[in-house]
Structure 1
Amino acid sequence: MTRVHDMGGRFGDGPVVPEPQGIPVLEAEWQARALAVTLAAGSLGQWNIDMSRHARECLSPRDYARFSYFEKWIAALVDILVQTGVLTPEDLADGDDGPHPLSDRKLTRDRVARVLAKGGPADRPSKVPVRFSVGQAVRTLRPAANRLVEGGHTRLPAYAAGAQGYIQRLHGAHVLPDSNAHRLGEAPEPLYSVRFAASELWADPEHPDDQVILDLWQSYLVPL
């Protein structure tokens, strides 16, 4: 099934136009607030980054196509706040500012710099044995889909499904988004940088000698 958010290499969307130098990423004050509210809500500990990414992917195709970047963030935040029971639709409608059970977890101003500096490392110990070595030829699975949850989150882009590439680097073991996005556990497994020729990914690449490097989990790959 075509996923509306999986736009890489898709025909018909027009050229990618880079932002002119000097124009800030946050062009309006509300965008900065949208970013701040999303990060602050994440500190409540009711979801993980993969769940939040999946929430954006689950926006209706119509909304996903017409919303700007930060509108997607806010719309998905509203959805996940309700889905996880942090807020109800009534809370959102009446704007009640009364005490909340999770208020003690709020991200206070004095903690922001420390929390952002810490980030959210996803490397973990894993008992899954490393299957591939640097330079080895591999092929990605087809279709690009979550094998654990039908229609679920995955980090394998559709344009790379079924493509042949070569292991460039092993990053160690990292949380598997396909599992983590659906509360099935972190399920860490080896993560690789995989090198693909542009001509392997697209039928008519403008620069066929270019190479594309994707970070892909071991379960996305099969040996050749």
Structure 2
Amino acid sequence: MTRVHDMGGRFGDGAFHPESEDDPVFAEDWHARALAVTLASGFLGQWNIDVSRHTRERLSPKDYTRFSYYEKWISGLADLLVENGVLTRDDLRGTGEEGRHPLADRMLKAESVAAALAKGGPAERPSNVPVNFEIGQEVCTARPAANRLVDGGHTRLPIYATGAKGRILKLHGTHVLPDSNAHGLGEAPEPLYAVAFPASELWAAPENPKDEVVLDLWQSYLEPL
């Protein structure tokens, strides 16, 4: 069953108001700090990006629906720090033990930030998994949109695209499978495709039926037609 975060294409959540070019990058100063501390904590090497995403998804539905974007980030980070033994709840309250932290040597220093961010975190990996689909081939996404390795686990297949028919636009190579990587089961790289879906395949009454939505999907999410 999907979680509350899987909101794409869902009705009843109100109008979507895109940001304009004149809007500031961060609406509040603390938003920038929340992003910075989350990225810096990731460089400690105690979790990967898929674990981080899954942690935000695991916030309680009550919290997820009432929190703002960066409140979700900072709440997920707090959970990550405690669950991975980096900090304790007392540390987060400011009442923990003093002293040098065991991970202090891995701290991302200010002079290293630009180079670290420019390097990024490429997810392409070599793989022995054969490529099953060709450019232009018609495929169908798996049903339901669920992690096949862990019950209730992380997946990048959105619920609005489950069971939909599309065609392969591009092969991106072989990339880390989030469904495995988010749960400590290894990177399990497999082919990743750009798949185009007609709007009429995804929604019962699309405003523009001839529009297409392109999703990047892993091979294990797809079935041949």
Mapped partners of 1:9, 1:197: distance in 2 = 14
Q: Within the alignment, does 1:135 sit opposite 2:136 as a pair?
A: yes
Q: What SS does structure 2 have at the residue aligned with 1:27? A: coil
Q: Counterpart of 2:169?
A: 168
Alignment gaps of 5+ in structure 1: none
Q: Counterpart of 1:62?
A: 62
Q: Counterpart of 2:8?
A: 8
After superposition, give the CA deviation of every residue in 1:17-62 in whole Å (9 maximum; x if it has no partner).
1113311131111001001000000000000000000000000001
How does 1:22-61 map onto structure 2 within 5 Å?
Answer: 22-61=22-61
Q: Which of 93-102 and 77-86 deviates more?
A: 93-102
Mapped partners of 1:136, 1:63: distance in 2 = 41
Mapped partners of 1:121, 1:181: distance in 2 = 16
Mapped partners of 1:155, 1:25: distance in 2 = 26
Q: Counterpart of 2:184?
A: 183
After superposition, give the CA deviation of every residue in 1:54-97 in whole Å (9 maximum; x if it has no partner).
00000000100010000000000000111111111121122545
Q: Which of 135-144 and 93-102 deviates more?
A: 93-102
Mapped partners of 1:191, 1:94: distance in 2 = 44
Mapped partners of 2:95, 2:166: distance in 1 = 51
After superposition, give the CA deviation of every residue in 1:104-146 in whole Å (9 maximum; x if it has no partner).
0000011100000000000000000000000000000011000
Q: Which amino acid aligns with 1:129?
A: P
Mapped partners of 1:15, 1:198: distance in 2 = 19
Q: Percent identity?
A: 70
Q: Counterpart of 1:117?
A: 118
TM (norm. structure 2) is 0.98
Alignment gaps of 5+ in structure 2: none
Structure 1 runs (4+) deviating above 4 angstroms are none
Q: Counterpart of 1:147?
A: 148
Mapped partners of 1:12, 1:2: distance in 2 = 17
TM (norm. structure 1) is 0.98
Q: Which amino acid aligns with 1:32?
A: A
- Aligned residue pairs total 224
Q: Counterpart of 2:71?
A: 71
RMSD of aligned Cα (Å): 0.9
